[in-house]
Homo-oligomer: A and B are copies of this chain.
Amino acid sequence: MVTLAEVAQHAGVSASTVSYVLSGKRSISASTRERVEQSIQELGYHPNAGARALASSRSNIIALMVPLRTDMYVPVMMEIAIAVATTARTHGYDVLLLTGEEGPDAVRRVTGSGLADAMILMDVELDDERLPLLRATDQPSVLIGLPADTTGLTCVDLDFGATGALCAEHLALLGHRDIAVIGEAPAVYERHTGFAERTLDGLRARSRELGLRVLHRPCEGGYDAMALTLARILDERPGTTGFVVQNESAVEPLLALLRQKGRAVPEDVSVIAICPDQVATQASVRLTSVAIPAQDMGRQAVEHLIAKLEGRGKDEVVLIAPELTVRASTGPAPAAP
């Protein structure tokens, strides 16, 4: 293992000079800088992370807490995680992957040990146990998701309220009057993650203004659950012509079932999905959808975190504006029979 001292000796300067070349915190003459950089190259020097962390009390590591359960939006989580990792690297940070398993203890461990300089939390619940800890520590953090009380916190999330409203608007504009919302699995609502409720609230509020009737049904993914849910919806509101689906694993079953029942998409019924673009374009019908901007969320979370680490940046809630892309699954409501 090559050390700073060896580089210094090789370049004929003192250790501190090498350190300053590396950090740029003091001015160094062009000639020495070159000599040092040359030596670093030749010897293949890499600063020792532990020593650096100890001396500077900054680890250059960001902790990312991902949910342990994988009952929803797995590709989204993955995409966020990857976006976080790549964005962090462009700022010279590495990412430590924590699972939700340890819960609040993980927060204590990370802040206590100086393992990471800051953290990003995903899958935040409305009244998350980790929040008091985050507020108590002076270590910067960013949430991806929105808890009930955001005071003293920085949060990044899709504006799910606006997303719901956008869906309502689109369907209303096409002349639909009775719409159904296929929601996440009941477990998601019980866990109080918030985003599902916010979507629904936004959608309901806008629907009221536009005169839409809304029926909401949570739904486990899969064919059987969807079949049951759809049957109930059509039983209760046979005139339903618009569907908003917020559950990746219900999308394809829904399309198959509609097909099977002889209801053509988009001629007879319209379907909007709230899902990543990839899902929308690969479905059996190219879906009109509101995208979940996973990359953007990950990237913004990191940018805000870095801003806080550098003393810039304040607590704030960043809601990303939803965008609806019209594809082949929505069309004018059929004339009333």
Contacts and interface: CB of A to CB of B under 8 A. Distances in A.
Contacts of A86: 68, 99, 101
> A50, A77, A101: which has the most chain B beta carbons within 10 Å?
A50
A47 B259 CA distance: 60
Nearest to A66: B82
A109 B1 CA distance: 12
A82 B113 CA distance: 22
A125 interface: no
A70 B45 CA distance: 33
Interface string A159-189: 0000000000000000000000000000000
Interface residues of A, number: 59
A282 B224 CA distance: 8
Interface stretch (A21-29, A141-149, A229-237, A249-257): A249-257
Contacts of A79: 70, 74
Contacts of A57: 50
A57 to B, nearest CB: 8
A82 B99 contact: yes
A116 to B, nearest CB: 9
A97 B99 contact: no
A64 B81 CA distance: 13
Nearest to A108: B46
A102 interface: yes
B46 A109 contact: yes
B70 A82 contact: yes
Contact of A114 (B49, B70, B284): B49
Nearest to A84: B97
Contacts of A75: 70, 74-75, 78
A162 B114 CA distance: 46
A307 interface: no
A75 B97 CA distance: 16
A300 to B, nearest CB: 18
Contact of A48 (B1, B51, B113): B113
Contacts of A115: 49, 94
Given A49-B59, A68-B86, A256-B284, 9 more contacts: A44-B112, A45-B112, A46-B112, A70-B78, A74-B79, A89-B101, A221-B282, A223-B284, A255-B256
A154 to B, nearest CB: 21
A331 to B, nearest CB: 18
Contacts of A70: 75, 78-79, 82
